[in-house]
Amino acid sequence: MKALLVIDVQKGFLEGREVLVDKISRLMQYFKMNDDKVIAFQHIDEDAGSPIEKGTEGAEIPDEILEHTDELLEKRYPISFKETDLDKILKEYGIDEVYITGFNMEFCILFTSIAAADRGYKVTVIEDLCGTENDGGTYEMDGLDIVDFIGTVIDWSGVIENKYLEETEFRI
C-alpha cells in the first residue's frame, strides 16, 4: 500500500507557487481514489517573523489540501518522523511505499525522505511538486536551483527515487 506525504504546504510558503496547491490536491485525490493514504503535515514554527509563524495566516494549510487529507500531523522538526506518529500510522495501514511532496526541499523533504528510507520504506520524491522558500542567495550560491540540486542529490543516492510527476504512474 502507498501513502502520499504532503509536507508543510502552508500559506506562508506559497506566494508565487500557488499552482503547487492545485497539482498536489489533484494528486491527493488520485491517491484517495485508489484507496491509498494521504498524510499532511503542518510545521509548527514559533519564530517571530517566520513565513509560517504559529498563529498567523502563513501557518495555515489551504483548504484544498485539508479536504483530501486522511491524517494531519503537526511537527516541529525537519524530519517528519521525529516526535510524531508517522511511523506508527504507516505501519497501521500496512504502507510500504511513500511519495513525498511539499516544502522545503532542502530541509523537510530531504530529511524525511532519508528517514523514511532508513526505516525500510520505498521512497519517491516528486520533484516538481516540491518547493522552497529559499534561493541560491540564501546559501551564498547565487543562481542555484535548490529544488533541482537537492532532487539530483536524492536521485544519485541510489536509495531514494526522485521523479517528475510525468515520470510516475499517476495521471492527474
Q: What is the pLDDT of residue 69?
A: 98
Which parts of the chain sit beneath pLDDT 50?
Answer: none
Question: Which residue, chain included where needed, has cell 521512497?
Answer: 123
Q: What is the pLDDT of residue 138?
A: 77
**What domain range includes position 139?**
2-167
pLDDT in tens, 140-155: 878 899 999 999 999 9
On whether residue 128 sits in a domain, the answer given is yes
Q: What is the pLDDT of residue 143?
A: 86
Q: What is the pLDDT of residue 158?
A: 95
Give the CATH number of the domain where residue 66 resides. 3.40.50.850
The pTM of this model reads: 0.95
- Structural domains counted in the chain: 1
Distance between CA 151 and CA 65 in Å, rounded?
23
On whether residue 172 sits in a domain, the answer given is no
Q: What is the pLDDT of residue 171?
A: 81
Distance between CA 78 and CA 65 in Å, rounded?
20
